[in-house]
A and B are shown apart, each in its own frame.
Chain A
Amino acid sequence: MRSFLRSREALVGMLFVALLVVTGLFNPNFFKPESIVEIFNASLTLVLITLGEMFVILTRGIDVSVGAVAGLAAVVLGTTLNLGWPLGLAVAAALATGMLAGAVNAVGITLLRVPPIIMTLGTLGIYRGLMRVITGGSWIENLPQNIKEPNLWNLLGIPFFVWVGLALLALTMVLTLRVRVARYFYAVGDNEDGAYLLGLPVRWTQFAAYTLAGLFAAFAAVVFTSQIGFVSMNAADGFELKAIAANVLGGVSLTGGVGTPLGAAIGALFLTAVHSMLIFLGVPGIWDNAFAGAILLAVVYVDYRVRTALELQQRQARIRGDLSGGEPS
């Protein structure tokens, strides 16, 4: 319990709650349960994309194409629906698209040894372009009702998709914390050479990471298509950068091997909430980006200070260990 309290997740979580409280004090309208639920609902897309990105970052990689993958998956979803495909099949097609797009990244990075940032920057362009090529540039509108319906379902006043999101989050938490094979993500990110020499399947792990990122991006695509009701060519534009920021905010270090899905999700919640909170505080939405950037910078700076202090501690512990361990008996 104590280690949780000292963790990044707890810190950002508490910061989040603190900001909610401050906003609410400033503007009591904020405290209505609908507003809070609305924040969760609005953040779903980013949370899902962030979770997918988390796997990649855990392995010390990076994927700047996840927004484009989400857009592409949404285009596939919209197009197939309008072609008359049954809902289940259309969603499956969208998810498959996401996985395929992620797998393409994976192949380039693990087999062709293209650096992740370059590979995903390239596929970012390719996928965004493909979106327009498929639709001819126009938005996909007039989607059948069946895709928009789930958005209206409610259980205990909480929207259907929020439940789905929570379920996925719980699933990912269990996966990464308990399933042995999932720990490979952490090992590969923490020390790739060591992982290789211990016989871990490094390439397969990296492959899985990028494919999962694509899959989660596709999940997000299904959610926002249902929520918004149409697919625009700017769908999920810039979400990859927000996802990276959310991960870093939530404690998933870009150097790999550190972080949890809970942290990533809280980071994403935080970033989305900034928008709503600013509105309630009377600050025009145009300042969103400025605040998001400033918060990110502030968090990483504080993290840097905390980390260097911790490393000093570790070094001292190591020296002491050396000193006591080196005693001849």
Chain B
Amino acid sequence: MFSGVPVLKGIDFTLRHGEVHALLGGNGSGKSTTMKIISGAYPLDAGQLFLEGEPIHLDSPRSAHERGIYMVPQEPHVFPHLSVLENLGMGLPFAAAELRRRALPLLEEMGFDVQLEEQSAFLSIAQQQLLEIVRGLLRNARVLIFDEPTSALTFREANHLFERMRRLTEQGIGIVFISHRLGEVMDIADRISVLRDGRFVLSEARANLTPHDLVRAMLPPDAVTGKEEAKREPRASRSDRPVLEVENLSSEAFSDVSFSLHPGEVLGLAGLVGSGRTELCEAIVGLDPHASGSVRLAGRQLPHRTPSLCQRHGLVYVPEDRHAHGIFLGLPSLYTISASVLDRLGRWLLNERRELELGDRFVRNLNIKLNSLRQPAGTLSGGNQQKVVLAKALAVAPRIVILDEPTRGIDASARQDVYRLIRRLTDEGVGVLLISSELEEIVNLSDRVLVMRHGRVVQELTGEAIRLDRITEASFGLAPGGESS
């Protein structure tokens, strides 16, 4: 329960010795919260925890560690100014020599090639994740929880991890494996449980399940049809002049990217985590001072870009991490909606009436569920928060909208609202650049797809060629028809 909003509504969960129990669920379903309670990071509001049949009370991660419960988090917790060795050993009772002895074999197994004395700030995301995993392995806990461990790993690294997990289970250690990747889950799990909206809707031995069962369990009943609704007919005419042209845009994370976007078109940008998509969008709107190359909006060159300049020319960017970059949590929701258009709300003084009208308009149009516009944005659900951030972008009346993972962490019905919104925008002639890691989304929504890999555009797909397998292959750099995940 957070500020009176229930997140988990009556969970029963059992983990057996030596079992790999996978936990599936969309974002906001409560799987991370459940595990944080089990690992001692959050307190229980109601209910009981039993370890080996004995009731236990956990009030901190330390008490969980003492009982042999350890969670390998999704977001790596790194101490950037300390060395890798110190990072690995922090919280463990080993002296440096002993730590080295234990850690080196594990690092080698995981294929983690790194200097132990190096400062951790230099580690890549994938390496940081490996660090967290090794931390977990060093602890040989009785219960190990892996929260989305493979999101930044390659095949080889993920397979190494699974091998190690198998070996741990042979020692009787119980493993909880949280993921949203059906393929992995079907591979490694003994039991699978699906969480939706704070409750378990499925809990079965893997042998009895098919991927289709899992998908069905994760979505609310009406969403299946929703998927069809989101599928669109490709837009035929592309004879309009492009509304956005990017030429040879380069920076640290990407190089030599060129493409154009036409009014009313949805251009999907696919690729693995780390392929440079977000960095590309940040550079387009002027958040990267080191980028080179040119950006033209409706034919007009914009050399020295800033977000506010781009906004004035009708280009808005809805960032991936709404909490960090999009929303003002402690302030009234209305303030977030109007944040980009303050200069249009009055000459010298802010016109409160106009601001409220603006807010009301978007609450209606986007179906935002709140009690009052003065309500702090932090009290809204994930889906509604995302809608507020979208409202902020739309208030500018843009001609181009860049959406970076717009449906991450929101429930299924809000997701449908977003798809409908994208549809409406393109009907009105707005160009949409869509980044998403949900390949289904890309396939269903895009008129054209660009696949990025290692910072370059490696593939452009149109019409019939927009398919899950083609996109996936290109993301991994495989020839069509080659080995796919």
**Residue positions of A touching B, CB distance < 8 A:** 180, 183, 186-187, 190-191, 193-201, 257-258, 312, 314-323, 325-329
Contact = CB atoms under 8 A, between A and B. Distances in A.
Contacts of A315: 252
B282 to A, nearest CB: 13
B198 interface: no
A328 B476 contact: yes
A252 to B, nearest CB: 11
Contact of A326 (B41, B77, B121, B454): B454
Contacts of A197: 41, 61, 71, 73, 77
Given A197-B73, A200-B90, A321 B62 contact: no
B78 A194 contact: yes
B155 A322 contact: no
Contacts, number: 100
A316 B250 CA distance: 13
Given A190-B81, A199-B65, A322 B124 contact: yes
Nearest to B253: A319
Given A183-B90, A316-B252, A325 B126 contact: yes
Interface string B76-103: 0111111000100011000100000000
Nearest to A313: B122
A326 B78 contact: no
Q: Main secondary structure on chain B at its contact with chain A?
A: loop
5 contacts: A186-B79, A194-B77, A312-B290, A319-B124, A329-B156
A316 B255 CA distance: 13
Nearest to A259: B81
B126 A190 contact: no
Indicate the member of A180, A196, A314 with the most B CB atoms within 10 Å. A180
Contact of B155 (A194, A257, A321, A329): A329
Given A321-B124, A329-B155, A195 B90 contact: yes
Given A187-B79, A325-B127, A196 B156 contact: no
A180 B89 CA distance: 10
A53 B286 CA distance: 41
Contacts of B41: 196-197
B154 A329 contact: yes
Contacts of A328: 154-156, 476-477
Given A186-B81, A201-B62, 4 more contacts: A312-B252, A325-B126, A326-B154, A328-B477
A298 to B, nearest CB: 23
Interface string B118-129: 000111111100
A47 B154 CA distance: 51
A183 B82 contact: yes
Contacts of B65: 199
B272 interface: yes
A317 B122 contact: yes
Contact of A318 (B123, B476, B477): B123
A148 B374 CA distance: 66
Contacts of B253: 319
Interface in B322-367: none
B82 A198 contact: no
A123 B271 CA distance: 55
Nearest to A191: B79
A187 B91 CA distance: 10
A260 to B, nearest CB: 12
B274 interface: yes
A126 B106 CA distance: 54
B80 to A, nearest CB: 6
Nearest to B121: A314
Interface string B51-88: 00000000011101100000101000111111000100
Nearest 6 CB-CB pairings of A with B: A194-B77, A321-B124, A198-B91, A199-B62, A190-B79, A322-B274
B78 A325 contact: no
Interface in B134-163: 135, 152, 154-156
A165 B290 CA distance: 48
B86 A183 contact: yes
Contacts of A257: 79-82
Given A183-B90, A319-B252, A194 B79 contact: yes
Given A183-B86, A190-B80, A195-B90, A325 B61 contact: no
Contacts of B61: 196-199
B126 A326 contact: yes
Contacts of A320: 124
Contacts of B86: 183
A174 B82 CA distance: 17
A325 B454 CA distance: 11
Contacts of A329: 154-156
Contacts of B95: 180
A111 B282 CA distance: 41
B111 to A, nearest CB: 9
A196 B477 CA distance: 40
Nearest to B73: A197
Indicate the member of A195, A315, A317, A318 with the most B CB atoms within 10 Å. A318
Given A186-B79, A186-B81, A323 B154 contact: no
B51 to A, nearest CB: 17
B455 interface: yes
A111 to B, nearest CB: 15
B455 A323 contact: yes
Nearest to A311: B121
B222 to A, nearest CB: 38
A191 B73 contact: no
Contact of A321 (B77, B123, B135): B123
Contacts of B122: 314, 317-318, 321
B446 to A, nearest CB: 24
Indicate the member of A187, A193, A315, A322 with the most B CB atoms within 10 Å. A322
Nearest to B122: A317
A320 B455 CA distance: 11
Contacts of A325: 124, 126-127, 154
Given A322-B274, A325-B127, A328-B155, A193 B252 contact: no
Contacts of A314: 121-122
Contacts of A326: 126, 154, 272, 274, 454
Contacts of A183: 82, 86, 90
Nearest to A197: B61
Indicate the member of B65, B121, B477 with the most A CB atoms within 10 Å. B121
Indicate the member of A187, A198, A200, A323 with the most B CB atoms within 10 Å. A198
Contacts of A193: 77
A250 to B, nearest CB: 15
Contacts of B123: 318, 321
